[in-house]
Amino acid sequence: MFDNIFAFLKKIKVPDIPFSFFWRTSRVVGIDVGVHSVKVAELDSEGGRAVLKTYGELLGKSYLKEGGGGGGGFLQYHDDEILQILTEVLRASSVKAKDAVFGIPSASSFITTLTLPRLSSDELEKAIPFEARKFVPVPIKDVVLDWQILETASDGEHVEVLLVAVPKDVITRIEGIAARAGLRLRGTEIESFSIIRSVLKNDFTPTAIIHIGHQSSVVLISDNGELRVSHTVGRGSNEWTRALERGLGISADRAEEIKKEIGLSERIEEREISATIRPLVDAFFLEVDRIFSFYHRKTGRRVQKIEFSGSGSSLKGVIEAAVMHFEIEVKRANPFLKVVTPPSMEDILEEIGPSFTVAVGLALREISSR
């Protein structure tokens, strides 16, 4: 039951645009349930291209209550609450697709790379689950394992293996929510792979994607077109919001507005605001530095550019601050560049794009691999 919807590692190669489709038109909706909001993106294949049909987002504060659900990410909420907000965002966004791909939060998954001796395919099939026991923090019988051979190590005698594990009860919960919502679950995918798919094109240089979420963030490193590092950082944009609330004595809603309108401004009259959150942003960048340094020590390769995604990337001035700190190319991600969209919506989609990297990537998983 699990293998049919979880064997996704064979599909993480980044597709070119336009896609070549040889099947009938079929809509797919990518569903990204976060701790702060639920986002959906519905795509269709028309004339050899992925076409955006609709998208939508609904904040969770009126629907989701912290605690009680168990699990990481959105799985901390009760299934009934998740179902309620999911049903509402699908209705409000006029989603017509019944085929769906659900995102799995990085906090509820485990991703690492292993170095193993060069063996035959059959020998690796037996060796990898045994080796995984040393790294996966829960019993192997309780998880779904998948893996992909990345490359031969520099010594020629070993291979690098990308290993993924997700608890079976996570898949079971998602299956139940999808069924209750009247959806056909075409797949589940850890958000790291969805982000890579929606953001990167055929780029073989070491590239990082910093996905800033509400409670936590994910730092990804792709090299030679494949995911090499997926590291969860326990810092998110809500940390900046709460600092502004406390420091300025304002509401959470006003703090969110200030992050987008003023953020890290260098204007003299706004420095009190930027000074409140800049130390937190600097601390976040230092954590990213450690991840980059580890990758460089391990591979001898340095990250050459960064793309920011997630709702936290809307912090005004964060791109400029990152350029100053990392001294490499930095930009915001825009997953809508990979799909056909109305020209009149170009500006708004560019603005909201970083927040929809997971949802678009999930839908592209099915659209681009049939």
Do 250 and 352 fall within a single domain?
no
| Mean per-residue pLDDT, 80-103 | 95
Q: Quick check: is 138 in a domain? A: no
Q: Quick check: is 355 in a domain? A: yes
Please list, in sequence order, all residues whose beta carbon lies within 8 angstroms of the beta carbon of residue 80, skipping any fewer than 6 positions away. none
pLDDT of res. 247: 92
User: pTM surpassing 0.75?
Assistant: yes
Do 348 and 328 fall within a single domain?
no
Do 187 and 315 fall within a single domain?
no
Do 321 and 311 fall within a single domain?
yes
The average confidence (pLDDT) of the chain is 87
| Mean per-residue pLDDT, 334-361 | 95
pLDDT of res. 21: 33
- For 220-273, how does the pLDDT look when each residue is reduced to its tens digit (9 = 90+)? 999 988 899 999 999 999 999 999 999 999 999 999 999 999 999 988 888 889
Best-predicted range by mean pLDDT (17-26, 124-133, 326-335): 326-335
pLDDT of res. 15: 35
Do 243 and 299 fall within a single domain?
yes
> Are the C-beta atoms of residues 255 and 241 closer than 8 Å to each other?
yes
DSSP labels, 215-255: S-EEEEEEETTEEEEEEEES--HHHHHHHHHHHHT--HHHH
Give 147's pLDDT tier (boundaries 50, 70, 90): confident
Q: Name the residue type at position 29.
A: V
Range of the domain at 253: 203-333
Tokens coding 292: 């980059």
Do 254 and 322 fall within a single domain?
yes
| CATH value at residue 175 | 3.30.420.40
> Are the C-beta atoms of residues 9 and 164 closer than 8 Å to each other?
yes
Do 34 and 180 fall within a single domain?
yes
* Residue 38, CA atoms < 13 Å, CB-side half-sphere: 27
pLDDT of res. 155: 62
Q: Does 118 score more than 70 pLDDT?
A: yes
pLDDT of res. 71: 58
Q: Quick check: is 131 in a domain? A: no
Q: How many CB atoms lie within 10 A of CB 59?
A: 13
Do 196 and 213 fall within a single domain?
no
DSSP labels, 20-63: ---S----EEEEEE-SSEEEEEEEEEETTEEEEEEEEEEESTTT
- For 183-208, how does the pLDDT look when each residue is reduced to its tens digit (9 = 90+)? 999 999 999 999 999 999 877 899 99
Do 235 and 305 fall within a single domain?
yes
Q: Quick check: is 128 in a domain? A: no
Q: Quick check: is 69 in a domain? A: yes
Cα 341 from Cα 85, distance rounded (Å):
26
pLDDT of res. 6: 45
Total number of domains in the chain: 2
Question: Could you tell me whether strands 158-167 and 110-117 are parallel, antiparallel, or unpaired per DSSP bridges?
Answer: antiparallel
Do 197 and 207 fall within a single domain?
no
Q: How many CB atoms lie within 10 A of CB 94?
A: 10
| Mean per-residue pLDDT, 39-47 | 92
Q: Quick check: is 42 in a domain? A: yes
Do 365 and 305 fall within a single domain?
no
